[in-house]
Amino acid sequence: MTNTSNYIMLAFELLGSLGLLIFGMKMMSDTLQKMAGPQLRHLLGAITSNRFSGILAGTFITCAVQSSSATTVMTVSFVSAGLLSLSQAISVIMGANIGTTLTAWIMSLGYNVDLTVVVFPAFFIGLLLIYNKRFRLAGDLLYGTAFVFFSLVLLSAAGKSLNLENNPEVIDFFSSFDTGSYLTILIFLAIGTVITCIVQSSAAVMAITILLCSTGVLPIHMGIALVMGENIGTTATANIAALGAGTQARRAALAHLLFNVFGVMWVLCIFYPFVDLVCLIAGYDQTGTPMASHIPIVLAVFHTCFNVANTAVLISFVPQIERVVCWLLPEKKEADDDGFKLKYLKSNLMQTPEISVMQAQQETIHFAQKTQDMFSLVRKLLNEKKASNWEKIYEAIEKQEDEADQTEIGIARYLGSISDDHLSNETKNLVRTMLREISEIESISDSCYNMARILKRQRESGLDFTADQYHQLQAMTIFTGDAITQMNTVMSGKLEDYTIDESYRIENMINHMCKRLKEDNIKAVNEHSYDYSVGTMYTDFVKECEKLGDYVINVMQARFGKNN
């Protein structure tokens, strides 16, 4: 009964230690993303078609955030937002596989060096920093790192307490597998894949593998098979995240899976020679008595050699991989329906909140572009004489106004869910800027709809504008259209390439023209040049143009960080 109780306690210690490890890795990853989030966005956004730069970016980012899953989800998010092409995404994913090998080396350090002396002071210093607003992120990072190493200390101690190397049943169980059989390797590869898919943490599977191999009960070949399975299982995160995304995002996630599966397949063809080479590099003697301190190093060396070699083999085949995933996941034609959908915020890729802001940015830019389309319809409405065409244009404006309301709400809710996380100060400011922008952009759509309603009121009244009024209104809409065009140019480009001066210049032209037209209208009404009600509708339209220009300036001021 005592032995049973001991085993139950040890099982809980192992599970608790693994839970602590997963929590520590997540805390490290989240904190590093908060600290480097804006820079990571800029780095990913600057990737060119050069596949080598993509690999370097993927490697660097994964090393920086300590999570290949985070990097691949970022990449899928960028593909979903249209910021990365599929071929660019594949090269980033290749780099992420190399970058994730750093995690294995960190864990091998934790098993080979007694970090107890460092861990507890790290907890104390981290606690002090967490309560300091200025150094809170540094405290979170130190705390997460301390949790990782403390969990490794606990896992090592629990493994020794289990005394598996002296347990005949455990030894007999693993001895029943023939390490020289490919069937055994495939079984443990499948086990590694399934466990990683379930726990959603390759670090946890690596820790279990190191623990079992270090005790000597799990032969190194089976341990390496588990690590290979972990490489396949870790792709599940990105594939799950991409389920609700567009076709391109799902293709990027599938490319990650195919890349790792193909790597496992060719390594299996030369498995035993490859393992011998790895053991030689690590200085591990397979024929002698297993050295517990060498096992983590062998697994880390294999993990690194596997991913570097796989990238070296497949780097030249990025176009072919792209064609394969496009063939496996063809673009589906969506059935026409009246259901409203946001273009870029289709999926809930919220595992990387800093990067999710980029999707919201793309949706905001698309929102602004839609208002320009809406204003173009207003200009058509002003010049259209045929009744049937006029009605179709008006109905299209009404529909776009309804979509604009839904878009504002959709983006605002998405930004609200992002801002619930602890973001970097730069990203928090960006979220606040976008909230201000979408409110003003929605006001632009309101002005467009109001102009359409004014034209409808004029049409239903049976009264018409004079030729001069039409000429002046067309001139006014040209200036207003220029303001919206300039707004979209700035929003779609790099902020450092523009100034707000051009928008101010156009707004002054709109204001001067509006003032002149209102004065001319008062004079014309007093001279009975046209009916007072026509003059009222005319000035109402002019005033809406002026309001629209003001809303554009508000968007530009938000974009350039200026107050009203």
pLDDT tens digit sequence for 222-241:
888 888 888 888 887 677 76
The amino acid that residue 53 corresponds to is: S
The DSSP call for residue 216 is T
The amino acid that residue 165 corresponds to is: E
Ranges of the chain whose pLDDT falls below 70: 1-7, 10, 25, 29, 32-50, 64-70, 73, 77, 80-83, 109-116, 155-156, 158-171, 200-201, 237, 241-246, 286-293, 332-340, 346-355, 419-424, 563-564
Cα–Cα distance between 25 and 347 in angstroms, integer?
Answer: 25
* Residue of 75, 77, 38 whose CA lies nearest to 58: 75
- Residues contacting 502, CB < 8 A, separation 6+: 486
| Sign of the dihedral defined by the CA atoms of residues 537, 540, 546, 548, in that order | negative
pLDDT tens digit sequence for 33-45:
666 655 665 666 5
The per-residue pLDDT for 514 is 93
pTM of the predicted model, to two decimals? 0.67
Q: Do residues 89 and 75 make contact, with C-beta atoms less than 8 angstroms apart? A: yes
The per-residue pLDDT for 350 is 45
The per-residue pLDDT for 106 is 72
Report the largest interatomic distance among the alpha carbons of the chain, rounded to a whole angstrom: 111
State the distance between the two ends of the chain, measured CA to CA, in whole angstroms: 75
At residue 539, the 3 state secondary structure works out as: helix
Instruction: Encode 481-508 in three state secondary structure.
Output: HHHHHHHHHHHHCCHHHCCCHHHHHHHH
The tokens of 412 are what? 């605002």
Q: Kindly list the domain boundaries of the chain, sorted by start residue.
A: 7-328, 353-559
CATH 1.20.58.220 for domain 353-559, yes or no, is yes
Cα–Cα distance between 118 and 277 in angstroms, integer?
Answer: 35
The DSSP call for residue 234 is T
Cα–Cα distance between 538 and 469 in angstroms, integer?
Answer: 8
| CA distances, 179 to each of 15, 139, 143, 242, 277 (Å) | 28, 45, 40, 37, 17
Q: What is the DSSP string of 363-419?
A: HHHHHHHHHHHHHHHHHHHHH---HHHHHHHHHHHHHHHHHHHHHHHHHHHHHHHHH
* Residue of 214, 294, 307, 208 whose CA lies nearest to 260: 307
The amino acid that residue 100 corresponds to is: T
The per-residue pLDDT for 335 is 43
521 phi and psi, to 5 degrees? -65, -45
| CA distances, 502 to each of 28, 490, 498, 546 (Å) | 44, 10, 9, 16
Residue with tokens 């997460």: 144
Q: Do you know the residue count of the chain?
A: 564
The per-residue pLDDT for 1 is 43
